[in-house]
């Protein structure tokens, strides 16, 4: 899942479908969402641990999706998020 990247001539819809397919396979192999222990342990909110894990996993996957999209076309989205 970390190595997937939008191809030069690939439209965003096709990249999204391919990314979701790889994500589904990864979740099936792991048996659930990706566990990000450092983020969960450092979260001091009263949110249940399972919900923290799901939220952290979803944020990580969203970041991977945007990071691996064609930066020439969509790089400004990440630049604006960082600022």
> Going by C-beta distance under 8 Å and a sequence separation of 6 or more, which residues neighbour residue 19?
4, 65, 68
Q: Is the pLDDT of residue 79 over 80?
A: no
Please give the pLDDT value at position 15: 92
- Sign (positive/negative) of CA torsion 3, 24, 20, 43? negative
Please tell me the pTM assigned to this model: 0.76
Interval 22-65: pLDDT, tens: 999 998 998 988 888 888 888 888 888 888 888 888 989 988 99
For residues 62-79, give the mean pLDDT.
Answer: 81
The pLDDT confidence band at residue 78, using thresholds 50, 70 and 90, is: low
């Amino acid at each position: 899942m970390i190595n997937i990247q939008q191809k030069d001539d690939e439209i965003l819809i096709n990249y999204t479908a391919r990314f979701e397919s790889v994500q589904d396979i990864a979740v099936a192999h792991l048996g659930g969402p990706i566990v990000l222990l450092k983020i969960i342990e450092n979260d001091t909110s009263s949110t249940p641990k399972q919900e923290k894990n799901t939220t952290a996993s979803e944020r990580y996957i969203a970041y991977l999706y945007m990071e691996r999209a064609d930066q020439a076309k969509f790089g400004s989205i990440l630049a604006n998020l960082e600022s």
